[in-house]
Structure 1
Amino acid sequence: MDSLKIKAINFDIQWKSQQKNFLTLEDILINESADLFLLPEMFSTGFCMEAKEIADSESLNLKWMQKIAKNKNAAICGSASIKENGKFYNRCYFVFPDASYKFYDKRHLFSYSGEDKIYTKGEKREIFIYKNFKILLQVCYDLRFPVFSRNKNDFDLILYLANWPNSRISAWETLLKARAIENQSFVFGLNRMGTDGNNLIYPESSYCFDAEGNVISSVSKQIVSAELNLNELENFRQKFPFLKDGDDFKIL
């Protein structure tokens, strides 16, 4: 049976406090085991537009994630503010247990907060295989744009890492469920908790949905857990082969 055990950390990110957030996460993870650990969007600083102050130009976030991946013998995924070649990116890293990695730069930048004026948008989707699951990486605001995440029979799981505030939490929950149903895919949406430096409040609102839109995750303190079964997904797709009836399109 192909299965994937995921544990996501929905913690209160300390504003612009990289080392403090690293230490907090290490304390949370110390006795946890999983195939994949998820961290929220900009997990080491909070969703901050002061990129000149917080952006990581020395790969400190990546190196920390690589250390955790090796120590836990598990994959770990999270996004951070990154400076590279004079540009800023909201970059999502997926680090494998051997410390190799993939990354995805957030495509849809949140113009309401001015993210599009500061960060550079990504140009392509990132899909890869981990433990036989084909995984698509997405970040927060990407959730509102279904064409970019449309399943062309090329993924089994979408990961959404977010800082999605309480004022729009109904949309977050509804859209996560919709992305799972329309793509006949598992969807894991991880949101942060607490209050950020802009006084935005983030409630407990992290979920994993199956392809029928059922919540299959459970919450214990700061850990949201789910175990995904690839055989069950494939059987469901064979019974209800809706994806083959979708429209042909190309993302430009």
Structure 2
Amino acid sequence: MLKVGLAQLAVQYDAIAANEQQVTQVVAQAAQAKCQVVVLPEMWRTGYAFQNLQQNSDVNGQATQAFLASLAQRYQIAIVGGSVATRRDGDDYNTMYTFDATGQLLSQYDKVHLFGLMAEDQYLTAGRRPNLFQLQAVPAAGIICYDLRFPEWIRCEMATGAQVLFVVAEWPTQRIQQWQQLLAARAIENQAFVVAVNCVGENPNDQFGGHSLVYDPLGQVVTQLAAQPGFTTATLDLQQVVTVRGGMPVFADRRPELYQG
């Protein structure tokens, strides 16, 4: 069993201190609810405030890592840290950090697929590596927002044996139905739990639609939030993954030699 908390925040545009205060409060709330892990949304630190990227991008992710590690250690809870803008060697990235309940860094992932409709490709550099980690001894994977539309990328991660796919996002209101359908498809085709956290609120050009949720390996909704700020929990029975995969061995029946091109 793995108890997860979903933190659907109203990310404040270009307001690091206010957003850090929100994150501190929701991590404490998740710990009080006896969650083993809490999940944050994409770009929770600043939103898509690219006009101030030069001053807001976290150099080497140092401030974000210190902040999340401290919270994980203080509340003894693992954190799938959504994502933030980071800078390394002069390039900016959309980066997810995951920490265990002792504050140790488990993974660092740079968003691989940059979303041109929100100008990510004009400001950020794409990542090149998958995001795989063990969370409470559970093999897991993590992706960021637009990555969701690339099932071949996700299948490469899930084929390693991952049982939970964490998805963090700033997904616009007008495409929430697609958000739900794509997440359900990823759960069904990978026979895995999908834990997806979106934000709400708006920036100067976009409105975000919430509907953070958990799907089980059969594509059934375990828990779901609406379009307002909120917090919910779900307990994942990982034996369900084993049962579903054993009943229909999709991964064993793959023909990857035919899938190129």
Q: TM-score, normalised by structure 2?
A: 0.90
2:174 corresponds to 1:173: no
CA distance in 1: counterparts of 2:176 and 2:161, whole angstroms: 29
* Counterpart in the other structure of 2:148: 143
**Native 8 Å contact 1:162 1:191 kept in 2:** yes
**Native 8 Å contact 1:219 1:225 kept in 2:** no
* Counterpart in the other structure of 1:4: 2
**Native 8 Å contact 1:153 1:243 kept in 2:** no
- Give the SS at the match of 2:152: coil
- Give the SS at the match of 2:242: helix
Q: Deviations over 1:52-98 (max 9, x none)?
A: 13211161111110111001101111210001111101000001112
Equivalent residue in structure 1 for 2:243, among 225, 235, 238: 235
Q: Deviations over 1:146-199 (max 9, x none)?
A: 00000324211111100001111111111000000011111111100112232x
What's the RMSD between the two structures over aligned residues? 1.9
**Native 8 Å contact 1:176 1:187 kept in 2:** yes
More moved, 41-50 vs 10-19: 41-50
Residues 251 and 140 (structure 1), Cα distance of their counterparts in 2 relative to 1, 3 Å cut: farther
- Give the SS at the match of 1:174: helix
2:17 corresponds to 1:24: no
Residues 189 and 205 (structure 1), Cα distance of their counterparts in 2 relative to 1, 3 Å cut: same
Q: How does 1:79-90 map to 2 (within 5 A)?
A: 79-90=83-94
What's the % identity of the aligned pairs? 28
**Native 8 Å contact 2:3 2:36 kept in 1:** yes
Q: TM-score, normalised by structure 1?
A: 0.93
Q: How does 1:1-252 map to 2 (within 5 A)?
A: 3-33=1-31, 34-50=35-51, 51-57=53-59, 59-77=62-80, 78-101=82-105, 102-150=107-155, 151-198=158-205, 200-219=206-225, 222-248=230-256
Q: Which has the higher helix share?
A: 2
Q: Deviations over 1:24-70 (max 9, x none)?
A: 22233334321111110011111332321321116111111011100
- Give the CA deviation at 1:218: 4.6
- Give the CA deviation at 1:117: 2.0
Gaps of 5+ in 1: none
CA distance in 1: counterparts of 2:142 and 2:160, whole angstroms: 15
- Aligned positions, number: 249
Runs of 4+ in structure 1 deviating by more than 4 angstroms, as ranges, are 218-221, 249-252
CA distance in 2: counterparts of 1:39 and 1:176, whole angstroms: 17
Gaps of 5+ in 2: none
